[in-house]
Protein backbone atom coordinates (compact mmCIF):
# COMPACT_ATOMS: atom_id res chain seq x y z
CA UNK A 1 0.00 0.00 0.00
CA UNK A 2 1.22 3.52 -0.82
CA UNK A 3 1.75 5.97 2.04
CA UNK A 4 3.38 9.33 2.47
CA UNK A 5 7.06 9.00 3.26
CA UNK A 6 7.03 12.30 5.16
CA UNK A 7 4.06 11.51 7.40
CA UNK A 8 4.99 12.13 11.03
CA UNK A 9 1.66 11.08 12.50
CA UNK A 10 2.00 8.56 15.30
CA UNK A 11 -1.73 7.67 15.34
CA UNK A 12 -1.33 4.52 13.30
CA UNK A 13 -4.70 3.26 14.54
CA UNK A 14 -6.53 6.29 13.08
CA UNK A 15 -8.79 5.25 10.19
CA UNK A 16 -7.69 8.36 8.26
CA UNK A 17 -3.95 7.64 8.59
CA UNK A 18 -2.18 7.75 5.18
CA UNK A 19 -0.97 4.17 5.57
CA UNK A 20 -4.57 3.00 5.39
CA UNK A 21 -5.38 4.62 2.05
CA UNK A 22 -4.01 4.61 -1.44
CA UNK A 23 -4.87 8.32 -1.66
CA UNK A 24 -2.15 9.18 0.87
CA UNK A 25 -3.12 12.24 2.97
CA UNK A 26 -6.56 12.89 1.47
CA UNK A 27 -8.63 11.11 4.15
CA UNK A 28 -6.68 12.77 6.96
CA UNK A 29 -7.00 16.25 5.45
CA UNK A 30 -10.73 15.77 4.83
CA UNK A 31 -11.32 14.60 8.40
CA UNK A 32 -9.41 17.53 9.83
CA UNK A 33 -11.17 20.08 7.61
CA UNK A 34 -14.56 18.71 8.69
CA UNK A 35 -13.58 19.24 12.34
CA UNK A 36 -11.90 22.64 11.73
CA UNK A 37 -8.59 21.18 12.80
CA UNK A 38 -4.97 21.10 11.67
CA UNK A 39 -3.39 17.68 10.95
CA UNK A 40 -0.84 16.47 13.49
CA UNK A 41 1.98 16.61 10.93
CA UNK A 42 1.72 20.41 10.99
CA UNK A 43 1.94 20.37 14.80
CA UNK A 44 5.02 18.16 14.60
CA UNK A 45 6.60 20.59 12.13
CA UNK A 46 6.42 23.45 14.64
CA UNK A 47 7.77 21.16 17.34
CA UNK A 48 4.62 20.82 19.40
CA UNK A 49 4.31 17.08 19.81
CA UNK A 50 3.13 17.28 23.41
CA UNK A 51 0.26 19.78 23.31
CA UNK A 52 -1.10 18.98 19.87
CA UNK A 53 -2.95 15.91 21.09
CA UNK A 54 -5.40 17.89 23.21
CA UNK A 55 -6.63 20.55 20.78
CA UNK A 56 -5.99 20.52 17.04
CA UNK A 57 -8.17 23.57 16.25
CA UNK A 58 -7.16 26.26 13.77
CA UNK A 59 -7.17 28.85 16.56
CA UNK A 60 -4.93 26.84 18.87
CA UNK A 61 -2.51 26.14 16.02
CA UNK A 62 -2.33 29.81 15.00
CA UNK A 63 -1.74 30.77 18.63
CA UNK A 64 1.07 28.21 18.93
CA UNK A 65 2.71 29.41 15.70
CA UNK A 66 2.66 33.00 16.94
CA UNK A 67 4.16 31.94 20.29
CA UNK A 68 6.85 29.95 18.50
CA UNK A 69 7.71 32.86 16.20
CA UNK A 70 8.15 35.18 19.19
CA UNK A 71 10.37 32.49 20.64
- Where do the domains of the chain lie? 18-70
Q: Is the pLDDT of residue 13 over 60?
A: yes
Assign residue 60 a region (left: φ > 0; alpha: ψ between -120 and 50; beta: otherwise).
Answer: alpha
Instruction: Specify the pLDDT at position 4.
Output: 60
**Cβ–Cβ < 8 Å for 18, 7:** yes
Q: Which residues pair with 57 in a beta bridge?
A: 37
Q: Give tens-digit pLDDT for 21-61.
A: 788 889 999 999 999 999 988 888 888 666 556 788 999 99
Measured CA to CA, the distance from residue 16 to residue 48 in angstroms comes to 21
Amino acid sequence: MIHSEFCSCQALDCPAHPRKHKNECTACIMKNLEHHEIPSCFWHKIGDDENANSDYTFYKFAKKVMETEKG
